[in-house]
């Protein structure tokens, strides 16, 4: 009877040990469980999506940026000094001052022949040089003084200035002159334009604001 009880206890211990081992194996199998196998539909989806877009690196330049990136061009014989790139030359705006553009338009410049006080500036003085900007209006002109470094634009009548041609010298008449041959009268303080290389026997050829040519004694003229 006592021996039978011992055998029963031994069997129970053995069963308990087997149960514990089984539980341990189940826990390990759960921890090592593989991911479920892909079905045929999932495999097809995976194959369709396997070509992923390339990863964008910060060092990768866009095509536009690479085209606009300035390159270093160097001129031979300049001791390594670099010149402007083609992009800099093509993108840089060509800035011309209004003074240079008007000089190209009227190479001789304009001279004030009648004083005038514009509403947006100081008076135009007789004999003062101005640069005219052609605005298409035959009666009113826009321009700025040659002596004005700020190039302040002023508006004035077209009759108060006259264009001086290349080689001419603007001078002021000191006393009235009458040319009988041409029936032309020139008045004191009138601005005329002496023609180059026209001095003959104390007289020079002058051009008036109306483009009339006449002979005038040099002693009647004064520089302005």
Local confidence band at 8 (pLDDT 50, 70, 90 cut-offs): low
- Identical fold at 98-163 and 169-223? yes
Percent of the chain with pLDDT over 70: 58
Q: Where are the domains of the chain?
A: 98-163, 169-223
pLDDT digits (tens, 9 = 90+) for 54-105: 554 544 444 444 444 444 444 444 444 444 344 344 444 433 444 444 343 3
Whether the per-residue pLDDT at 44 is higher than 80: the answer is: no
Instruction: Write down the residue that tokens 């009458």 correspond to.
Output: 178
At the top level of CATH, which class does the domain 98-163 belong to? Answer: mainly beta
Give the single-character DSSP code of 165: P
Local confidence band at 106 (pLDDT 50, 70, 90 cut-offs): very low
Percent of the chain with pLDDT over 90: 37
Architecture of domain 169-223: Roll (2.30)
pTM of the predicted protein model: 0.51
pLDDT higher at 100 or 127: 127
Candidates 194, 188, 187; CA nearest to 171 is 194
Give the single-character DSSP code of 159: G
The mean-pLDDT minimum among 70-79, 153-162, 166-175, 186-195 falls in 70-79
Please tell me the number of Cα atoms within 13 Å of 77 on its side-chain side: 0
Six-digit token pair at 12?
Answer: 């129970």
Cα 117 to Cα 113: distance, rounded to the nearest angstrom = 13
């Amino acid at each position: 009877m006592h021996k039978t009880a011992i055998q029963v206890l031994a069997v129970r211990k053995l069963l308990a040990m087997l149960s514990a081992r089984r539980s341990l194996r189940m826990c390990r199998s759960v921890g090592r469980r593989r991911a479920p196998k892909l079905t045929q539909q999932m495999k097809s989806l995976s194959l369709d999506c396997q070509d992923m877009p390339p990863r964008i690196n910060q060092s990768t330049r866009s095509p536009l940026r690479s085209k606009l990136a300035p390159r270093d061009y160097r001129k031979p014989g300049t001791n390594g000094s670099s010149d402007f790139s083609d992009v800099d030359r093509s993108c840089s705006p060509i800035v011309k001052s209004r003074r240079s553009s008007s000089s190209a338009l009227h190479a001789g410049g304009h001279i004030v022949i009648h004083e005038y006080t514009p509403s947006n500036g100081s008076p135009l003085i007789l004999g003062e040089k101005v640069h005219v900007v052609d605005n298409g209006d035959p009666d009113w002109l826009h321009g700025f003084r040659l002596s004005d470094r700020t190039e302040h634009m002023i508006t004035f009548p077209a009759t108060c200035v006259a264009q001086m041609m290349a080689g001419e010298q603007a001078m002021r008449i000191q006393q009235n002159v009458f040319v009988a041959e041409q029936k032309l009268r020139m008045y004191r303080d009138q601005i005329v334009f002496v023609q180059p290389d026209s001095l003959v026997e104390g007289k020079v050829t002058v051009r008036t604001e109306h483009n009339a040519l006449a002979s005038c004694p040099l002693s009647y003229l004064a520089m302005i």
